[in-house]
Structure 1
Amino acid sequence: MFRYFLNRLGQGVIVLLVLFTITFFLVHALPAGPFQTEKAIPEHIKERMEAYYGLDKPLGVQYVKRLGTLGTADLGASLRLEGRDVSEIISQAFPVSLQLGLVAMGLAICIGIPLGVVAAWKKNTILDYSAMALAMIGICIPAFVIGPVLADRFGQQWQALPAMGWSPLSPSYWLLPAFTLGLVSAAYLSRLTRAGMLETLNQDFVRTARAKGVPEGQILVRHCLRGGLIPAVAYIGPAFAGIISGSLVIESVFAIPGLGTHFVKAIEFGDEPVLTGIGLLFGILIILANIGTDILGAWLNPRLRSSR
């Protein structure tokens, strides 16, 4: 098992290298450079700025130099925000995105898993059909559509919740963006939980427990829940990383000062160090989330430990 996770970490390093390479060359393939603004910059000043940041060198030389700085854990300085390191920008903005992602994932788990358990328990009833219909709606409607609708209804028309801004200590600011982010994950979790619970409920040990007169609630919680949650657990890790990265759009909708604002502006400006830093951060999150999911899945299903 330990050797398996070491292999996964090694694969993660390769994934990060590929991710950095793709991001680097895609940013440099953008038609507009980092110093091409609406207000024309004198050519001699532009040349001095490019020389200062090393952008006057061949692309291959720039790539090797950036790769070397990353090897020393130096993400470089932002081209858009003069004098600010990328690590400083991430350290200030990432806690906001992380808090939003944790709340969204918590809402997704609290909504999706109970919904899937009830749907499996009441299979082929109105509760099952209603729960799966809601899940399908949540899957089909993208977050960037749900967000503006919720902000308009609850924030502007009804004035029940703040539609813009962020306060780390005020839950009223979290609810709308977190619900928007977590709705799709809740929908997938409900369907995966239902499928896992139905498979477990059809096992022989469940029929034996029912024949012995064990209460249905005890069967669900003590005998079926652990095995039935394995598909949902396998999804939670990548889903959490997806929620964090998906918050880039939602943060712009709700004017949240997280990584999303810096990411969007970095694309507009062609700020390669910021784009690379944020991209690598999300890559690390996805790798760690997948490894954490494997550990939790092995704890829930002992057969997975012997196969790795």
Structure 2
Amino acid sequence: MLRAILQRLLQGVLVLFVLFTVTFFLVKKLPYGPFQQEKAIPDHIRAKVEAYYGLDQPTSVQYFKRLGNYLHGDTGLSLRLEGQPVSAIIAQAFPTSLQLGLAAMVVSLGVGIPLGTLAAAKKNSMIDFGAMGLAMIGICLPAFVIGPILAEIFGRGLQLLPAIGWEPADPRSWILPAITLGLATAAYLSRLTRAGMLDTLSQDFVRTAKAKGVPGTTILLRHCLRGGLIPAVAYVGPAFAGLISGSVVIESIFQIPGLGQHFIKAIETGDEPVILASVMLFGTLIILANFLTDLVSVWLNPRLRTR
């Protein structure tokens, strides 16, 4: 078990190194530089600014210098925000994206798993067809459609919830963005939970329990739920990282000051340090989420411990 954990950690380090390398050279291939859009800057001043940030050096020198800085925990200075440290930008914006991702994950788990479990318990009934129909609608409707509709109905129309803005201390401002972001993940979770529960319900021990007169609810919740959640758990880890990194549209719709807006602005202006740091942060989150998912899967399925 310990050997497998060490192998996964080494794989994660290798993936981060490849991600860093690919992102660095892709950013260098952008057709514009961080200061080319500043029309009013004379050429000699631009040359001094590029020399200050080390952008006048060969690409290979910049790469190894940037890699060494990352190994020492230095993410550099933003080229767009007047030399503000990238670590400070992330420290300011990322907690909001993380809070939004956690709220959306609560919505996904609270809707997807009960819906999938209910659909499996009522297989081939109207409840099953209705639940999976709702799940398909959640998969097909994109966030930029659901978000404005919810904001218009519950925010501007009924005035029950804030339509825009984000207050960390006011949970009411979390509801509409979290629902918009979490519905698609809830739809996938419901389908995965249904498939896992149906597979578990077809096992011999379930038929034995039914023959002994064990109530159906007890069989479903006590004997089948743990094994039936294995496919859903394998999806939860990457999905959570995806919710945090994929909240750019939601942040734009509801005017949420998260990391996504900084990332988009960095791409528009060629702000290499912010792009690189954001990609590395999101990549680290996905690797950690996959790692934790593997550990939970081993806990749910003891047979994996012997592999």
> What TM-score results when the alignment is normalised by the length of structure 2?
0.98
Letter in 2 for 1:285: L
Q: Which residue pairs with 2:79 in the alignment?
A: 79
Letter in 2 for 1:103: A
Q: Which residue pairs with 2:287 in the alignment?
A: 287
Give the Å deviation of 1:144.
2.5
Letter in 2 for 1:277: A
Q: Which residue pairs with 2:47 in the alignment?
A: 47
Query: Residues 251-292 of structure 1: CA distance to partner in whole angstroms, max 9, x if unpaired?
Result: 122111110111111111111100111110111100010010
Distance 2:162 2:194 in 1: 34
Query: Residues 171-195 of structure 1: CA distance to partner in whole angstroms, max 9, x if unpaired?
Result: 1110111111111110000000000
- Deviant stretches of 4+, over 3 Å: none
Distance 2:232 2:147 in 1: 25
Structure 2: give runs of 5+ residues left out of the alignment: none
- Say which is worse superposed, 77-86 or 195-204, in terms of deviation: 77-86
Letter in 2 for 1:145: V
Give the Å deviation of 1:39.
3.8
Q: Which residue pairs with 2:191 in the alignment?
A: 191
- Say which is worse superposed, 156-165 or 107-116, in terms of deviation: 156-165
Change (3 A) 1:27 1:93: same
Give the match's secondary structure for 2:279. Answer: helix
Give the Å deviation of 1:158.
3.1
Letter in 1 for 2:214: V
Q: How many pairs are equivalent?
A: 307
Give the Å deviation of 1:141.
1.4
Q: Which residue pairs with 1:13 in the alignment?
A: 13
Give the match's secondary structure for 2:160. Answer: coil
1:206 aligns to 2:209 (yes or no):
no
Q: Percent identity?
A: 68
Give the Å deviation of 1:92.
1.1
Give the Å deviation of 1:21.
1.3
Distance 2:110 2:191 in 1: 14
Distance 2:9 2:134 in 1: 38
Give the Å deviation of 1:154.
2.3
Q: Which residue pairs with 1:263 in the alignment?
A: 263
Query: Residues 3-24 of structure 1: CA distance to partner in whole angstroms, max 9, x if unpaired?
Result: 1111111111111111111211
Distance 1:32 1:253 in 2: 28
Q: Which residue pairs with 1:223 in the alignment?
A: 223
Give the match's secondary structure for 2:4. Answer: helix
- Say which is worse superposed, 116-125 or 147-156, in terms of deviation: 147-156
Q: Which residue pairs with 1:306 in the alignment?
A: 306
Distance 1:300 1:144 in 2: 36
Give the Å deviation of 1:38.
5.3
Structure 1: give runs of 5+ residues left out of the alignment: none
Give the match's secondary structure for 2:246. Answer: helix
Query: Residues 193-227 of structure 1: CA distance to partner in whole angstroms, max 9, x if unpaired?
Result: 00000011111110111111111110111110000
Taking only aligned residues, the RMSD between alpha carbons, in angstroms, comes to 1.1
Q: Which residue pairs with 2:35 in the alignment?
A: 35
Give the match's secondary structure for 2:161. Answer: coil
Q: Which residue pairs with 1:108 in the alignment?
A: 108
Q: Which residue pairs with 2:127 in the alignment?
A: 127
Q: Which residue pairs with 1:117 in the alignment?
A: 117
Give the match's secondary structure for 2:84. Answer: coil
> What TM-score results when the alignment is normalised by the length of structure 1?
0.97
